[in-house]
Structure 1
């Protein structure tokens, strides 16, 4: 392969892990808001987690730009999870929570990062199973199923919304024996002796509905990470269907890949 010669007037190489050209268009002209964004990002490193950001007016004076330019830069940093609103001000956000794409509960994933997991029950309903849901939870149409909806918490911060469907026959006393702020997987394993065998998951990005945004406490325009999961027990029988909505500014997901296939 022929080596490519670089000249001194080219933009500097991005740091490892950063986007190629790090936001600089091919014509080489850096948008003014993006230049401000990179300067504010450098400022965040000096302030540290929880540090208060100067006001839009102060930042506009510091960088000699309009307040609208500052506002656009801050909007992107908020969406990326680098900043968060606190009262009437803006502060530096902590690192994103890393959740493994594995057969582990939300509780276990959050605890591994030194955070305190929790859940707040929105509703627990029992209803006849519709035909579309029946194969996913292993019952016939019309048999009773539970629908449990809970807000996900990390150190009392609302970070997601979880919706679980499971057959009443598998967990008949869910409404009386289960503590809604605890791990559902722990309850199945420890109280009922039900183990998880495998699951299918699908991950996509979405915008929350107005109701979901209100429950999680986020603007409707904030991107969300949505995971659909169909779980089976150790005997291969359908167990649950789960819809988990996570704040895109507070979560990232990890997985481990093994070799064996063809590369690109």
Structure 2
């Protein structure tokens, strides 16, 4: 790709004691793409996400975010970096004691310089993007369905209009219809807002619906990366079982039918 990567992982080794999770791992994430990180249980997907976020120290190698080593962001620079990305956690991670409005407003209030009327306007706008109303803003998380929790959590992740969005199993726990609707929402917002997405998921329907590029973690490294079709052509036991088995053929075949119906090539 011609553009410089937003995330550049070079020769990364991650180890906890004698247990090596990543070894000489390389990965680049480019502007405005939706990259799906895929791998079997224990392959290090979540650990890689923690390395990108700067939550863990690598044993060797380097992770750059926005052109700078992530561990070089300190103090005010670190705070500014966190304002450039948003995170959607698997279960939403809403604060149970706060209503929807205050959950979404939290990142804005943490800036400590925005007037409350502007915060109100931004929160209601983000909720409207999710198909939620001002009446929904008064609800408590315990009043929300699983699909609404995902939407409120996504509104909070996008509160500061980030350039980079991390999704951890974004459709986990949703029924097929709600999962399709949530994928449609993410795809629409990605197209309109132009942010970059790094998505950890094992759901084939979600990969087929959203990913513009796929990176497969296996054998402590990124085994292969490319378009979904390129990845599926790679001869490897995990890839053949995951993507080209009966479940994979069924899920990805259905997504191809949906793409045709929606006018996608």
**Which structure has the larger Rg over C-alpha atoms?**
1
Under a length normalisation based on structure 2, what TM-score does the superposition of the two structures give? 0.21
**Larger helix fraction of residues:** 2
**Larger strand fraction of residues:** 1
